[in-house]
């Protein structure tokens, strides 16, 4: 084989290798984000403090969260209207809810569960809400699996403001992955009432990237591409030998 033939063969081999590798990487499974939406509904349960116009008297405990999980179900807020707890632009599936009986005028801790198919490598929360009157006050307003999320107090609307139950508010946290578990997770909202009727409407989007803990295995199509590339290399080598 002369030098020119050797050069051409070398370039062809290099091209086959690059194309095969590129196609293989293009078809490998990629980690992709998924999401779950949690809306306020009558499936939400709650813990009633027994008081009207202040937050829980002490920091929330594991016992408080457990009681909220097993408490009574919320009911549809009969006072919801275009001007009071109106539908959420960021959560069209959510409905305005409140506690029943005396709890409809008081401060309550709401609890709602959601499931994740696996542990996660990263996750974020986007919460849209309207609330009468405050999301947290002396305590944090939002909790995941019993852990308070940062920057949820003071309430964005301020004490004695009506803005929170008239217009959509929002809260986000881009680093909640370490708080989530595979299976059932719990979101809690501390609704602090300041007098008269109370209620909340909310929608939470949890976006997450699953953590598999394994190296992705190429699909059959990927293996086929690799074999085709290797076969091409073999044919080139054979042709080179015949040309000598």
Helix (H, G, I), strand (E, B) or coil at 214: coil
Cα distance between residue 234 and residue 40, in whole Å: 63
Q: Which of 56-70, 147-161, 200-214, 219-233 has the lowest mean pLDDT?
A: 219-233
- Report the pLDDT value the prediction gives residue 219, as an integer from 0 to 100: 47
Q: What is the dihedral of CA 36, 110, 202, 42, to 10 degrees?
A: 80
Confidence of residue 33 (pLDDT cuts 50, 70, 90): confident
> pLDDT tens for residues 69-97?
999 999 999 999 999 999 999 999 999 99
Confidence of residue 231 (pLDDT cuts 50, 70, 90): very low
Res. 223: pLDDT tops 60: no
The pTM assigned to this predicted structure is: 0.76
Rounded to an integer, the average pLDDT of 223-238 is: 46
- Report the pLDDT value the prediction gives residue 128, as an integer from 0 to 100: 97
- Report the pLDDT value the prediction gives residue 95, as an integer from 0 to 100: 98
Rounded to an integer, the average pLDDT of 39-58 is: 94
Q: At a CB cut-off of 8 Å and minimum separation 6, what does 233 contact?
A: 13, 16, 17
107 or 160, which is more confident? Answer: 107
Res. 149: pLDDT tops 50: yes
Rounded to an integer, the average pLDDT of 25-35 is: 60
Q: Where are the domains of the chain?
A: 3-29+216-243, 34-210
Confidence of residue 26 (pLDDT cuts 50, 70, 90): very low
Taking each helix axis from N to C end, the angle separating 220-243 and 3-27, rounded to the nearest 10 degrees, works out to 180
- Write out the DSSP string of 61-123: -HHHHHHHHTSPBPEE-TT-BTTBSPPBTTBTT---EE-SGGGGGS-EEEEEEEEESS-EEEE
* Structural domain 34-210, CATH architecture: Sandwich (2.60)
Res. 240: pLDDT tops 80: no
- Report the pLDDT value the prediction gives residue 11, as an integer from 0 to 100: 53
Query: In the structure encoding, which two tokens stand for residue 236, read together?
Result: 């080139």
Percentage of the chain with pLDDT > 90? 63
Cα distance between residue 59 and residue 61, in whole Å: 6
Element (H, E) at 184: strand 183-192
> pLDDT tens for residues 84-137?
999 999 999 999 999 999 999 999 999 999 999 999 999 999 999 999 999 999
Query: CB-based burial of residue 240 (10 Å sphere; 0-12 exposed, 13-18 middle, 19+ buried)?
Result: middle
- Report the pLDDT value the prediction gives residue 73, as an integer from 0 to 100: 98
- Report the pLDDT value the prediction gives residue 163, as an integer from 0 to 100: 85
Rounded to an integer, the average pLDDT of 132-154 is: 92
């Amino acid at each position: 084989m002369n030098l020119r033939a050797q050069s051409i063969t070398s370039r062809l081999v290099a091209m086959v290798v690059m194309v095969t590798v590129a196609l293989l990487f293009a078809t490998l499974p990629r980690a992709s984000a998924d999401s779950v939406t949690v809306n306020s509904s009558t499936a939400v349960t709650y813990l009633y403090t027994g008081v009207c116009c202040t937050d829980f008297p002490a920091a929330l405990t594991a016992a408080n969260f457990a009681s909220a999980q097993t408490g009574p179900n919320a009911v549809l807020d009969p006072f919801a209207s275009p001007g009071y707890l109106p539908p959420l632009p960021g959560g069209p599936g959510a409905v305005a809810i409140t506690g029943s009986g005396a709890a409809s005028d008081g401060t309550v801790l709401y609890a709602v569960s959601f499931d994740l198919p696996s542990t996660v490598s990263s996750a974020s929360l986007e919460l849209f809400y309207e609330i009468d009157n405050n999301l947290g006050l002396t305590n944090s307003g939002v909790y995941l699996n019993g852990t308070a999320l940062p920057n949820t107090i003071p309430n964005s609307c301020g004490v004695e403001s009506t803005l929170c139950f008239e217009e959509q508010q929002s809260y986000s946290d881009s680093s909640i992955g370490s708080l989530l578990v595979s299976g059932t997770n719990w979101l809690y909202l501390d609704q602090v009432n300041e007098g008269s009727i109370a209620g909340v409407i909310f929608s939470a989007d949890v976006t997450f990237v699953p953590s598999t803990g394994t190296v992705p295995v190429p699909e059959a199509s990927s293996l086929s591409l690799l074999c085709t590339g290797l076969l091409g290399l073999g044919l080139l080598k054979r042709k080179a030998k015949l040309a000598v």
